[in-house]
A = this chain, B = another copy of it.
Amino acid sequence: MTGEHSSKQYDMDLETIRSRVLQMGGLVENQFQDAIKSFRIGDVELAQQVIKGDEQVNRLEVVLDDTCNHLIVKRQPAANDLRMVMSTVKVITDLERIGDEAVKIARVAASAHERASGLNQFEFVRVISERARDLLHEALDAFARKDEKQALKLIAQDAIIDHEYSIILRSLITFMMEDPRTISVALDTMWVAKAIERIGDHAKNIAEYVVYVVEGKDIRHSDYVATKLEL
């Protein structure tokens, strides 16, 4: 009986960690979306909320890291469960970094209102920001459901974001060269695009950890995705 009870308790511990990661994921998704919104409509107050909100993201990182360590010491998980916990620790790091990127976007948004220009900054990043938002959401979803198939698709999608990012860069450089008065504004847009591209990378990392949990296979830096998806 004690064995069974303690195993149930163990499952509950694992479940608690999982649900807290998703809670942190939800918070980070909101931070990202609020940052983009503040950039789109030039809402300085909202941008400052995002900057302030990063404290909570950071707090969650520290607490969750600690929870994972405690679980390892207390439960001495076998290889399977340990994979889940170690992946969680890495997902947390990526989520925290996404929070940092959201702050970078918000910082641009908070200062951008000071500059007037003919450049519609948001239009440059509209598509890429929607794509990164979806990628992040679906990566967290794949993590929640341990859905390897979805994770593999997402990993392949990050290349689209990288490609779009390079197109944005080139078109911003063209604007700057044609009209040097747009340099400041174009650079601001560039930093926002860069932050979004980084968020895509982190979302891809999360998807890679899902495959690691499910398959027990570390597919980072390998051709595993292309092979699996028959690309």
Which residues from chain A sit less than 8 Å from chain B, CB to CB?
Answer: 55, 58-59, 61-62, 65-66, 69, 72-73, 76-79, 82-83, 86, 89-90, 93, 173, 176-177, 180, 183-184, 187, 218, 220-221
- Could you give 25 example pairs across A and B, Cβ below 8 Å? A55-B221, A58-B220, A59-B221, A62-B218, A62-B220, A65-B218, A66-B218, A69-B79, A69-B83, A72-B72, A72-B82, A73-B77, A73-B78, A73-B79, A73-B82, A76-B76, A86-B89, A89-B89, A89-B90, A93-B93, A173-B183, A173-B187, A176-B180, A180-B180, A180-B183
Residues of the B chain whose Cβ atoms lie less than 8 Å from the Cβ of A77:
73
Known A62-B221, A93-B93, A218-B66; contact A183-B187, beta-carbon cutoff 8 A = no
Please give the distance in Å from A75's CB to the nearest CB on chain B: 10
Please give the distance in Å from A89's CB to the nearest CB on chain B: 7
Q: A58-B220, A89-B90 are in contact. List 6 more A-B contacts (CB 8 A).
A: A69-B83, A73-B82, A90-B93, A173-B187, A177-B183, A180-B183
A184 vs B223: C-alpha distance in the bound complex, in angstroms?
33
Residues of the B chain whose Cβ atoms lie less than 8 Å from the Cβ of A183:
173, 176-177, 180, 183
Please give the distance in Å from A94's CB to the nearest CB on chain B: 9
Residues of the B chain whose Cβ atoms lie less than 8 Å from the Cβ of A65:
86, 218
Residues of the B chain whose Cβ atoms lie less than 8 Å from the Cβ of A78:
73
B58 touches A221 (CB 8 A): yes
